[in-house]
Structure 1
Amino acid sequence: MKVACLQFAPEVGNVQENIRRADNILQNTRIPTDLDWLVLPELAFSGYNFHSLEEIRPYLEPTTSGVSTQWAIQVALHYTCHVTIGYPEITTPSTNPSDPQTQYNSTVTISPQGTILHNYRKSFLYYTDETWASEGPASNSHKLSNAESSDAPFFAGELGSLGKVTLGICMDINPYRFTSPWAAYEFASLALSSSTPLICISMAWLCHLTPTELMENPTQPDVATVAYWVERFQPLVEAKGDKPVYVILANRCGMEKGVCYAGSSTVLRIEKGAVSLFETAGKSEEKCLVVDLTERPKFQVRSGR
């Protein structure tokens, strides 16, 4: 299986320019003809750092029918691959137009045939999300670990020809509202109990680097961020399963309103208690990271015991 992370630096509210930016990166990348899955960041084309519902309102997209979904369908058909993209969703009343609408921080996944496979709504909101978005419908049952329950948080199940997948968005891998016990590992625990070999996270992950530090050695990853991501999958590491689990972490880079993003999109393999890294994008690098999961990972991050 071949997967790709399209890491770039969208600007808040500059949708058409952000689309052009993504298109240019894809056009300048040697995309394999047998690519299986292309993953974009959280809120890829709207940008992320909105501070109120009124500020983001012009960029909200109707459920699976806005500009992000249409772009993803075109790209999925062009490359004959699955595409997952983050977007700011607003629901459309099914009957009465006066019914209240709800906003979510969502991803939509498209099949290689251009059909909509799944619309996932972020369960664990970050502070910035809480200014405009509602929690995903199952988020109030975040302590559940039963993947078969329809009330379980996140998404764990069949996703087209990709097979069994666990999906999340950024903050989902953290403790709920940073108030749940660190060792609850809600997201990783669900991925473990559901036995999905593929995990995909669309992200707009911040970093603690200054703007100056962010631009130093831009093609080098933010090692502290990658190490943190690995730690948040500790239950899968400790399980020491014989079957490999692949983790796709598709982050954005750049700055918005003085906020720095970590970039460092990463593809990992967890197997027999060992964590191996296929490849990582730089912290300020705009590129499409393409990884063949059948190849040998380049680095071992943590050895099995």
Structure 2
Amino acid sequence: MKIACLQFNPKLGEIEKNQNFASGLLESYKPGDIDILVLPEMAFTGYMFKSKEHIKPYLEDAETGITIRWAKAQAIRLRSFVMVGYPQIVKGNPDIYYNSICFIGRDGELIETYSKHFLYTTDESWANEGPEFKAINVDSLGKVGFGICMDLNRYQFKAPFDVYEFADFHLQQRTKIVLCSMAWLSNNDNYNDNDNNHEISTINYWCNRLSPLILNNNNDIGNILVVVCNRTGIEDSTTFAGSSSILSISPSTGSVHLLGSLGKRQESIMIIDVPIDDDT
């Protein structure tokens, strides 16, 4: 199974430009090259919105929005599952906004909309909390779970650090594939366009927040695949960590393997061919 992360530096509010850039990165790929494609949180709008009024022109409904249409077209063209983040407005209730992802099937059908459950400070200026974490059964993939950035952290940073709500949920659900769209901030504000190394401290932190999946010693759950697609770049003086990663967790041995990772500043597509059996 070929898993792809599309990491890039979206420009705030420049949806068409951002979509064209992402499409350009994908244009050489054909059906069979990618089975699951993951893009960052709020991939085409940018992230650093300051209020409901600020983000209002960029809101999309969950069925016909410009991000969903793009994802459907790429899913059909590539015969791939596609996940991408966007700011959602709820049909019939225009005062409710969510930070959401769409998950599109190979035939271009909308399989799932997931709304960010744990909001970061920036989200709280405009978004409502999503109702719950989510994992669903998907034909040919098994149990698939979804996450958006702050979901990996403890709720509002108020719970003790050793509380792992997101990972505990997916352990209980026996999730086999966890897909995460991110706009995760860098630990280092020294921006270097040529820095192609990943930010290991950030990847280690993601692994820490997944500890219950790694350390459960459940020999019958098999290996767990975690796909983390982050954005890169600087937006409104905020620096993002890049370092999109694909991880294979082996609960039976209590270990995690980094199958691949992009650099902090890379704008690129990473594709990792992952075995689909329990030896992932």
TM-score range, shorter chain: over 0.9
Correspondence for 2:269 among 268, 288, 298:
288
Q: Does 1:273 align with 2:254?
A: yes
Which residue in the other structure is 1:156 paired with? 135
Which residue in the other structure is 1:143 paired with? none
Cα offsets for 1:179-209 (capped at 9, x unmatched): 0122120000011111111111110000121
Cα offsets for 1:225-278 (capped at 9, x unmatched): 111111101111111333111100010101101110000000001112011010
Q: Map residues 47-66 of structure 1 onto 2, 5 A cutoff.
A: 47-66=46-65
Q: Does 1:102 align with 2:96?
A: yes
Q: Does 1:225 align with 2:239?
A: no
Cα offsets for 1:159-181 (capped at 9, x unmatched): 34322111110000000000012
Task: Give the aligned residue type for 1:270.
Answer: I
Which residue in the other structure is 1:182 paired with? 161
RMSD between aligned alpha carbons? Answer: 1.5
Write the distance in 2 (CA, Å) between the matches of 1:83 and 1:216: 28
Cα offsets for 1:66-109 (capped at 9, x unmatched): 0000000000000001001100000111xxxxx55310000001
Q: Does 1:246 align with 2:222?
A: no
Q: CA deviation at 1:294?
A: 1.8
Write the distance in 2 (CA, Å) between the matches of 1:240 and 1:285: 35
Q: Does 1:167 align with 2:146?
A: yes
Q: Does 1:136 align with 2:130?
A: yes
CA contact (8 A) 1:241 1:273 kept: no
Correspondence for 2:213 among 236, 260, 271:
236
Higher deviation after alignment, 182-191 or 158-167:
158-167
**Pair 130,160 (structure 1): closer, same or farther in 2 beyond 3 Å:** farther
Which residue in the other structure is 1:259 paired with? 238
Task: Give the aligned residue type for 1:279.
Answer: G
Aligned residues with identical type, % of pairs? 41
Write the distance in 1 (CA, Å) between the matches of 2:194 and 2:65: 36
Q: Does the residue aligned with 1:209 lie in a helix, a strand or coil? A: coil
Task: Give the aligned residue type for 2:261.
Answer: T
CA contact (8 A) 1:240 1:274 kept: no
Q: Does 1:83 align with 2:82?
A: yes
Q: Does the residue aligned with 2:191 lie in a helix, a strand or coil? A: helix
Write the distance in 2 (CA, Å) between the matches of 1:282 and 1:290: 14
Write the distance in 2 (CA, Å) between the matches of 1:64 and 1:100: 15
Q: Map residues 1-80 of structure 1 onto 2, 5 A cutoff.
A: 1-28=1-28, 30=29, 33-80=32-79
Cα offsets for 1:111-166 (capped at 9, x unmatched): 000100000010000000000000012xxxxxxxxxxxxxxx21112134322111
Which residue in the other structure is 2:179 paired with? 200
Write the distance in 1 (CA, Å) between the matches of 2:193 and 2:109: 41
Task: Give the aligned residue type for 2:206.
Answer: W
Which ranges of 4 or more aligned residues in structure 1 deviate by more than 4 Å?
A: none
Write the distance in 2 (CA, Å) between the matches of 1:276 and 1:208: 22
Task: Give the aligned residue type for 2:205.
Answer: Y
CA contact (8 A) 1:118 1:159 kept: no
Q: CA deviation at 1:214?
A: 2.8
So what's the TM-score if we normalise by structure 1? 0.86
Write the distance in 1 (CA, Å) between the matches of 2:249 and 2:133: 20
Unaligned runs of 5+ in 2: none
Task: Give the aligned residue type for 1:12.
Answer: L
CA contact (8 A) 1:64 1:119 kept: no
**Pair 275,32 (structure 1): closer, same or farther in 2 beyond 3 Å:** farther
Write the distance in 1 (CA, Å) between the matches of 2:37 and 2:30: 10
